[in-house]
Structures are given as structure tokens and as C-alpha cells.
Structure 1
């Protein structure tokens, strides 16, 4: 009888502890409105957030960083998003190029929120608090350029027959497990299959290739691959230099099971948004 009572007591304490932990999840709200410079609201665009703890401040003239969180803007360019506690850099984009996801292309409306000195602003999200960015009227047509002295990797992507692969994307990770969101990404390859991916600094990187910016199961005919024959191979980059002639072989996925069918129907735009939501859920779980 005493043993049974002890077990009930421990069970009650476990439920209470689990409930207490759930109450301690640290999240906060951020609201705001994005406007086109000298224009109207950036309606139906997207606002993106970069976790300051996960990587450098975004600098599209030097490298492409994958955002940690995204949400849509409404007709008035307004947004409201729940974020895990921490510091975040903010950007926004409205596609004019026709490309559904990925880094900004020429003539897309784009911004990174910066202070008067040109530094990316970090918003501090605190537990159970709501704050506003106010009206940010800084979005302008984007013009892609490459800063001199960039750090990165260049090469070509080919299929198993040795032919160049068009519209492929290279992702760079800082560890060989290559899990989670990659810190850096390239633009899509052209007909010649050539790519260049840049980072904020030198180091050891591991490369993966896909033809969508989102994750999830591959759709039929999608491209997948990575640098390294039997296992991921490191690529060394020196700060201020481009490591050249890194050839990556890829294969096309032709299996069409239920997951592949679902991925094809969703498309890359929904896929990447689901990845962001899943990552946010995982971040919240970590902080319980």
C-alpha cells in the first residue's frame, strides 16, 4: 500500500513538473509594418528573421544566409510573429522576379533593417512580451553584386553522366552531419552548372546540393547530392579567398512514394515555411 502511494505521489510530481516546464517556454511577439521606400506598403511580401545566436548578421552583398523564421505580410504590409526568446536580425522581401523562394534577385523589393551606421539591427525578444518595429519604410529594388575579397567556394555541379546541372543550389554547413538549417546557400546554377557560394569568413565547410530551398522528402525528378564520395568531405576556405574547382556530382530522385507526392504537391514555398515552423517548434522544445 505504501509503495502504491509513493508511485501515485511520484506520478503527480512528474505531471506537475512537466506542466511547470511547459509554462516556462520563453517566447515573445514582434509586430510591425514594412513599406516600400517612397512608396506604399509591401503587401503580400514576406518578413524574415535571422537568429543572432546561429550566425552572422545578414549581408546579401557578401553572402546568402538562410533565415531562421519567416512569416507573411498582409495587404497593409503588417506582420505579427511569435519568436523564441533571443536576438534576431530582420529582413523583408517581395518577389517581383517570379522565383517563389530563395535569396533576393534583381528587382525584387528587399531590405535588411539597419541603423544609421549601416549595421543590421538586432531585436531582443523577451519572454511573454510584445514589441513593435514600428513602420520600416526601407524596401528598395534589389541589385545583386559581389563584394571584393569575398570568402567562398566555387565549382560546377554535374550529373552522373558528367553533364552540367541547371537550377541547382549549394548549401554550406559547418559540420559533417549536415542537419538542420544550413547557414549559407548559393544562387541557382545556370545552364553551365557553375556555382559560387560565399560565407562571412574562412573555415571548414561541408556541401550539399538540392534544387529547392526547402527541405523535406524529394519530389520526383529532384536533384540531390553532396561533396564527397562515400561520406561528406570537408572544403577548406581562407578568409578573403575563393576555393575553386570543387566539382559536385548529383543524382535525380525518381522514386514517387506518398511523401514524394506530398512534397511535389506542396511545392518549395510551402515546404520551406513548414521547415521554419518545425525549426521554431524544436527551438521552443530545447528551451523547455
Structure 2
């Protein structure tokens, strides 16, 4: 009882005192003020927090925020979801570089910039060092194609493992500042203009014909045209029929939903033989349909460990939806060859 009295007095005392302590500052993206972004206040460091923030503020049209806080040490995180150049949501985030912020009175925090998650570890170019060229299709220069720079060929020059990506201008031209080194280039233009996702039939896709490209220090390398061609439907169907999407008489079925039970379309479901669920999965489903339904074909019976993700290949990027099978503590499910087993609802959540 005494503890509750002390806490009540402390809270009441703070509520009744003038708001003369807290933090204020500005959030940026590049050099522009970032309006409608969140500033979250935590009492502990680390980005993987399982608790709600201690306090939250939203920036005004000039990127400014102000929060009244009792004296103490705080960790500030800036976040915002906004539409990117490809028309899809992107996640902006950054920790305040002077964390923890010691609040003794009214503390003015230096402005700090948010960065696009998944690309914050991009390459730092050397002065005067770059590649430039054009993306060309059968009809001529391609406007709005994404040009990707990869450090190696391990992922087949596909997926979100690229180091840099830029979009071509109206003349199909691009320029990418880089540190000196050796690189692999590819280009894609998807029908919806997006930067990520497997190319569909009719989308344009191509790999630079003279990979790898050597980029000397202080030089701008002029490339030959990077040629793209339409993805062929027959080749795509054949490749899928022979690969991890092949139909069999053994399969897991179910529905992908979010935390509120709403159907989630466009989610890949994976099966691993290793309970650690690392590396490449053994089997992959087609994306879930508009009702969230999926079918995951297998060639053999056994025990499989099930996960789900809105993209496949490369590291997780903020904004993706991911989840695992919750029917067992180890995320595993058993199946006999020649049967279909329903996994029920498989829940996914959005990742920051």
C-alpha cells in the first residue's frame, strides 16, 4: 500500500509541475524535413524491443517534434512509412546518433536523418567514381527500368541482395556512383514499376553482357547498352514446372492471415528440412491467392518446418510480412507421401 502511495504522489507531482523538461528536435530524410514521422522514446537501447515505447510524438510539417519527459536517460528512434519511387511502401528509420539522451531540462536534440531500411548499408562511393550507361529494349531506350548493382553472382543477380539500385530516366540513361571495385549489373522493368518482386511474363529483364565491370578509382566508366527482353511465359511455366513449384500428390494447404485474421495475398510459404529454418528452403509455394489460400507441394513425406514470407531470396527488409507455423512449438508439421495436410491459418506480421 505504501508503494502505491509513493508512486501516486510521484506521478501527481510530475503532472502538476511546469513542462520544463523533455526533448525537441527535427527529423530529416536526405536534406528535407520529414513531416508526419514518429519519434518513439524508449528506456532501453536496442531496436528489437518487445515493449511499447515510453512516449511517442509526431513531427509537424517542418519535421519538428517536442516531447515533455521527466528527467532521465532516453533512447530516441525516428520512424516513418511512406510511398517510395516504385509506388510501394518503404520504411524509413534511424536511431538518434547521440543516444542515450540525458534529459535534465529542455534538451534540444541535433537534427538527424532517417534512412530507407534494407538499404542503409549501401555502398559509399569514392569521389569521381561511377558507372553510367543506357538500358535498351527491342523498341529502344527503356524509361523507368531499375538497374541493380550486385557484389557477386551468388544469388543469380536476382532478389533484394543488391548493393545499389537506380532508375533510368526518359532517355533510358543511368549513372551510379560507386567505390572502386568489381560489380555485376542487371536491369528489370516490371509492369507495376516496383523495384522488387519476381519478373512476370511481359516484364523486361536483362543482365549486362560484359559482367563483371571493373570500376577504377576516380573514373566514370561508360558501359555499352544493357539490353533487356520480355520475360517469356512458356519459359517461365517450364522453369516453374521443373523447379520448387512443381505440382505433386503430396502437399500442405492452408490460408495466410494477419493478426486480425484477415486474408493475406501474395505470401510465399516455405518448407525446410532443418528446424533452424536457415538458408534456402527445400520447397516453396506459389504466392497465396486473394483469399490467402496456398498449396505447398512436396515430393516426399516426412517432418517439415514451415515459414511464410512476402518475398523470397535475400535478407529480410522492413515492410515485409513474415510468419511461421504455430501448430507445434518447433514450427514443424508431419505429412505422409501421397496425402494433403491442412495447416489451417498461418499468421504473418509486418517486420520493421
TM-score by length of 2: 0.42
**Structure with greater strand percent:** 2
**Structure with greater helix percent:** 1
**Higher RCO (Cα < 8 Å, 6 or more apart):** 1
